[in-house]
Structure 1
Amino acid sequence: MATSPGMARLQAETVLREGAVPESLPDALTVTRTYEISRDAFLLRLPMGLAFHYRRGAGTIYACAASVSDKEVSLFFDGSVYGAIAWLNGLVPLHASAVSHAGGVYAFTGVSGEGKSTLAAALARRGLTVCSDDVLVLDLTEPGEVMAVPGHRRLKLWADALALTDRRSDDAVRPGIDKFYVADQIPFDAQPLPIRRLYMLQSVVNADPGIGPIIGADRFAALRSAYYRPQFCSAIADQADYFATASRLSSAITISRFNRSRDTTDFAAGISMIEADIRGTHG
C-alpha cells in the first residue's frame, strides 16, 4: 500500500491507550479551560469526565469517568486530539470532507452544518470514493505536491442528511445527539493522493447557484478559514511559518466557491453540479 512521510508519521503518533492523565502541561504555550498545548504536547480535559494527554513520540493516554462510552472516547480522539496531533507533527488539518476522482482529491469545507459530509455521502452514491469525513490532513513533505492523507473510515450524518442521501443509520455519535454513523459500506481511500481542489460551501438565498473561482487575497483568507482548530496552529507556529504554509497551500490548490440552494428539492441538482465539476476538472 502506498504511503507518504506524513501519513506514516500520523499513523505512528495516533496510538491511544488508557492510563493516568496529568493535571497540566509544565511547558504549555496556551492554557484554556479545556485544553493546553505546547510545542510537543497536548492536553484536553472535558467537563463530561474525559481527558486526553498526547506527547510527540509517546502517543496519547486517556482517562474517563465510568459514564463515558467508548464511542465518545473515539469521537473526541478522532476530532480535537487528532487535529492537535497533526499540527504538532508539521501536518495541516482542514475542517473538510473529501472525495477522490482520477487520482486526485476534491475537498469541501465550510462552517459547521454546511453539508460537507452530506456531499461526500451523496457523491459516493455516484461512484466517487470518500477520502475523509470532517477532518482532512494535508502532508506538505513533497516539494512539488500537497498530499491528502486518508482519514477515518466512517461517515457521520445528521438524521435529515441520512434521508437526503438514502443512507442507513448506525449508532448515534453521542447519546442524545441526532447525528449517526452511517451503516452502509462506503468505499474509502487507503492511500494518500494529491489534493486538486478545495470547494468553499456557501448557501444561497434568492440567487442563482453556481461554482466559481476564488482569486487574489480572498484565496489566502478562504484557506485559513478552512483550517481545523486553527487556534492550535496559532499557539505553536511563528508568524513566518504560519504565512509560509498558507501561501504554499493557496498557490498549490485550486480554490472555488460552491453556492447552492439548501432547499431539499434542489439537492439532486446541486450534487449533479459539483459531480460534473469534479469529473470535468481533474488532471
Structure 2
Amino acid sequence: MYHYWGFGLHILSEIEFPELLPFEFDVPDVTIRLGKTPETLEGDDVVHRVRISMSPNEYLLKIHDIANYYVSGGKKVLVEIFPGADEKSVRLFMLSSAMAAVLHQRNLIPLHASGIFHKNGVVLFCGQSGAGKSTLVTALQQQGHHIFTDDVCVLYPQSDGSINATSSYPMAKLWADSLTRIGITSTEENRIRPQLPKYARFFHDSFVTDSLPVKAVFVLERSAQITNAELTGLSKLEAFEKLQANAYRPAHIDAMGKRKLHFSFTSSLAASTMIYKISRPDNNDSVKQLIELITSRLM
C-alpha cells in the first residue's frame, strides 16, 4: 500500500499516484482499494445523473472503458479498473470527481481555484475551466512566485471567522498552447491523458501541506467584449455570488445535501477577504496584463 498526503488528508492507496506527495502516517483518513463496485445505488435520497449516482454518504461514478469509482462515508474508495484502461486516466478521475465526493462527504468544501504563496498566506485565482488559472500561476512561478495549488483547494473556516485554504497536490495541468505562450516545453511523458494535449508540471520540492490564510481572491472571467484586461473590486454580495459560482463539482452540492455548508463557507470567505474580478480578453494573450493588475494589488 502507498502512503500519500493530498487535499489535507492522509491517503492509503493500493493505486500508485505519482501526482500525490508521499507522506508517512499511522492512521489513514481515506483508503483507496481495488475491487468490484456496486452496480447501482439505492435509496430515497439517491440522486441519479449521467454516469453519476450520489447521496450524502455514497457516490458512484462510471467512466466508460476507464473505471468505476465508489465512495462511501468520506473514508473509503473502491476503484474497479476496466481491462486495457489508461492508468493516467484512472488516476485523473480519482483525483478530480471521486476526491471531490470524498471531500463533500467529509463536510469539506473544495473551491475551483489555483493559488500562490503571499505574505504568510495565499492568494487564490478562481475561475471556470479555461479561465486561465493554471496558466496564470505558472507564469507567476516563472517570475519567482511559488505555486500553492492548481485547480482545486479546500476551504477551512477558522475560529475568528476567516478562512484558510489547503492545497490539493503538487501538480499543475496546462494545455499545450498555454505552455507555448509562457515559453515552457514539455514531453509526451507528461501528457495527462493520451488523447488530450494537456501536460503535467510537478512541484513536489516546493509543495507545502500547511493550511494557510487566504489573503485575496481574484475571480478570472473571459470576455469577448474587451481588448484589455480589467480589474474591479467586488462588494461582499457580489463576491459571495462569484464564489458560489466557482464551487468545484457543483453538481455534488445539492445532491449530497451540502448547500447550507457551502453557503456558510463561501459567505465567510467573502466577508473576511478582499475579492476582485478580472475580466480578460477572449481573443488574445493577456497573461502579462493579468500579472501587472494582480501585482499592483498585492504590493
Does TM, normalized by the shorter one, top 0.5? yes
Residue 155 in structure 1 maps to residue 155 in structure 2: no
Residue 193 in structure 1 maps to residue 212 in structure 2: yes
Q: 1:242 to 1:10 in 2, by over 3 A?
A: farther
Give the conservation status (yes or no) of the 8 Å contact 2:74–2:105.
no
Q: 1:13 to 1:232 in 2, by over 3 A?
A: farther
Q: 1:161 to 1:208 in 2, by over 3 A?
A: closer
2:77 partner letter: T
Residue 270 in structure 1 maps to residue 290 in structure 2: yes
Which residue pairs with 2:232 in the alignment?
212
Which residue pairs with 2:275 in the alignment?
255
Residue 7 in structure 1 maps to residue 8 in structure 2: yes
1:266 shift after superposition: 4.1
Which residue pairs with 1:74 in the alignment?
91
Aligned counterpart for 1:173 among listed residues 174, 177, 192: 192
Which residue pairs with 1:144 in the alignment?
161
1:123 shift after superposition: 0.8
1:185 shift after superposition: 7.2
Give the conservation status (yes or no) of the 8 Å contact 1:83–1:229.
yes
Which residue pairs with 2:47 in the alignment?
30
- Cα deviations by residue, 1:108-159 (Å, 9 ceiling, x for unpaired): 1222111110011111112222111111111225453311112111111000
Which residue pairs with 1:108 in the alignment?
125
1:229 shift after superposition: 1.0
Aligned-partner Cα distance in 1 for 2:233–2:146:
24
Which residue pairs with 2:107 in the alignment?
90
Residue 99 in structure 1 maps to residue 116 in structure 2: yes
Which residue pairs with 1:228 in the alignment?
248
TM-score with structure 2 setting the length = 0.82
Query: Counterpart of 1:228 in 2: which secondary structure?
Result: coil
Q: How many residues align?
A: 274
Query: Counterpart of 1:249 in 2: which secondary structure?
Result: helix
1:218 shift after superposition: 1.7
Give the conservation status (yes or no) of the 8 Å contact 2:150–2:173.
yes
Q: What stretches of structure 2 of length at least 5 have no aligned partner?
A: 1-6, 13-27
Which residue pairs with 1:3 in the alignment?
none
Aligned-partner Cα distance in 1 for 2:50–2:265:
29
Aligned-partner Cα distance in 2 for 1:94–1:57:
17
Give the conservation status (yes or no) of the 8 Å contact 1:114–1:201.
yes
Q: In percent, how many aligned pairs have the same letter?
A: 26
Q: What stretches of structure 1 of length at least 5 have no aligned partner?
A: 1-5
Give the conservation status (yes or no) of the 8 Å contact 2:69–2:79.
yes
1:97 partner letter: S
